Amino acid sequence: MGPNKPLRIALAKHQLFSMIFWGGPGTGKTTIARILAEQVGADFVELSAVSAGKADVKKVVEEAQARGAGNAQQAHTVLFLDEIHRFTKAQQDFLLPYVETGLITLIGATTENPSFSVIAPLLSRCRVFVFQDLTSEQMLTIAQNAIAELKVKAKEEDLNAAVSMANGDARQLISLLDQCVALYGAVNEETLKNTSQSKHLRYDKHAEEHYNTISAFIKSMRASDADAAVYYLARMIESGEDPLFIARRMVIFASEDVGLAQPTALVVANAVFQACQQIGLPECAINLSHGVIYLAQAKKMRTAYDALRSAQEDVRALGNLPVPLKLRNAPTKHMQAWGYGKGYDMYDMGSCLPDEIAEKKYVKG
């Protein structure tokens, strides 16, 4: 939005283009879309992909055609589609020709990575703008403006507490302050606590925040940073993640990253998994923390993981290589005559690999 930036130039020239706004909730996606449409004098139509369907989009298209949209002499139509990632591929396909011809200017909003949630043909016709999370300072400014609009006074420490409760979501912040005033006529520690019974962390189990957090959790344990690992564990627990999902990842980690360096890690991880099954939240969070700190502080050795992956590559590339005759079972005389089991020595046979890869070493270190 700054000087000489794409959106500022588009406003100055009154020439909007189709775009995707990607960012967390309450970061201003809808507000910016409304401002852009208003500033260029466009007809603004707002739909939510949660409840809208192909018929709703078709109606917008028909109304745009009736108004003569696409004609430079006519006001064009801006279709704001909130949560566009919830549209199916077929529904997104339906938008393509109208976006292509400029009959409608699409502004899609999503909290999920559009690279995965928006079809490639539609994505290629749109500019993607990333909305960063609002800083605490920006949120405090919004809180101060909201208080002024509500015509009440509040201490800065109470506004900071409201900012913390909103977790970077400006919409949630404004709603919290509005409800405090509507219910109690004041904004202070007590009214904030009563109005917001609990803080809700942003964490969609099927969206990017989920994968970002679990990735940070695993990588922190891998880096032996126990403090960070426990922090991300706490984030997941407070956001309502399934403790068994966390425990399963720990069991995998115990073999993948700790492995032979500390074989008891797998025992501990399995014990944590069983504890989560038997005890459940909230108490099993303590078992999870126990296991996470143990795994983070354990020595690391990826020998087992790397050996498996290397062997899998050869299996995929070379197929089912013949098993050496000396390793084959010989239950009949014919098989013995064909050489099955010949040369078998329980403890000294050299390589047991197929002849084509007899010198291969998968287990290193």
Domain count of the fold of the chain? 4
92 in the same domain as 31 = yes
327 in the same domain as 266 = no
Separation of alpha carbons 346 and 339, rounded Å:
17
Looking at residue 87, the DSSP 8-state letter turns out to be S
| Confidence band of 61 (pLDDT split at 50, 70, 90) | very high
Residue 126 maps to which CATH number? 3.40.50.300
Q: Is the pLDDT reported for residue 249 higher than 90? A: yes
Separation of alpha carbons 5 and 97, rounded Å:
28
122 in the same domain as 33 = yes
50 in the same domain as 29 = yes
Q: Is the pLDDT reported for residue 70 higher than 70? A: no
Asked if residues 83 and 48 have their Cβ atoms less than 8 Å apart, the reply is yes
234 in the same domain as 186 = no
- Asked if the structure places residue 98 within a domain, the reply is yes
- Asked if the structure places residue 333 within a domain, the reply is yes
Q: Is the pLDDT reported for residue 143 higher than 60? A: yes
Query: pLDDT by residue (tens digit) across 30-42?
Result: 999 999 999 988 9
Q: Which residues pair with 23 in a beta bridge?
A: 131
234 in the same domain as 283 = yes
Q: Is the pLDDT reported for residue 207 higher than 70? A: no
Q: Is the pLDDT reported for residue 209 higher than 80? A: no
143 in the same domain as 127 = no
291 in the same domain as 174 = no
Q: Which residues pair with 45 in a beta bridge?
A: 79
Q: Which residues pair with 22 in a beta bridge?
A: 110, 130
pTM over 0.75, yes/no: no
* CB-count burial class (<10 Å; 0-12, 13-18, 19+) for 278: exposed
Q: In what order do the strands lie in the sheet with 104-110?
A: 43-48, 77-82, 104-110, 19-23, 127-131
Q: CB neighbours of 116 closer than 8 A, spacing ≥ 6? A: none
Pick the last residue of a domain from 195, 221, 239: 195
86 in the same domain as 29 = yes
- Asked if the structure places residue 365 within a domain, the reply is no
- Asked if the structure places residue 302 within a domain, the reply is no
106 in the same domain as 47 = yes
Residue 257 maps to which CATH number? 1.20.272.10
263 in the same domain as 332 = no
| Confidence band of 72 (pLDDT split at 50, 70, 90) | very low
Pick the last residue of a domain from 82, 104, 131: 131
| Confidence band of 75 (pLDDT split at 50, 70, 90) | low
Paired tokens of 22: 């990607």
At residue 139, the 3 state secondary structure works out as: helix
Paired tokens of 62: 């028909």
Asked if residues 291 and 253 have their Cβ atoms less than 8 Å apart, the reply is no
- Asked if the structure places residue 187 within a domain, the reply is yes
Q: CB neighbours of 195 closer than 8 A, spacing ≥ 6? A: 176, 179, 180, 183, 184
Give the mean model confidence (pLDDT) for residues 130-154: 91
Q: Is the pLDDT reported for residue 216 higher than 80? A: yes
- Asked if the structure places residue 203 within a domain, the reply is no
Residue with tokens 């720990």: 250
* DSSP 3-state percent helix, strand, coil across the chain (nearest 5): 55, 10, 35
Pick the last residue of a domain from 195, 220, 243: 195
350 in the same domain as 288 = no
- Asked if the structure places residue 123 within a domain, the reply is yes
Residue 172 belongs to domain spanning = 136-195
Asked if residues 263 and 221 have their Cβ atoms less than 8 Å apart, the reply is no
Give the model's pLDDT for residue 355: 84
Residue 174 maps to which CATH number? 1.10.8.60
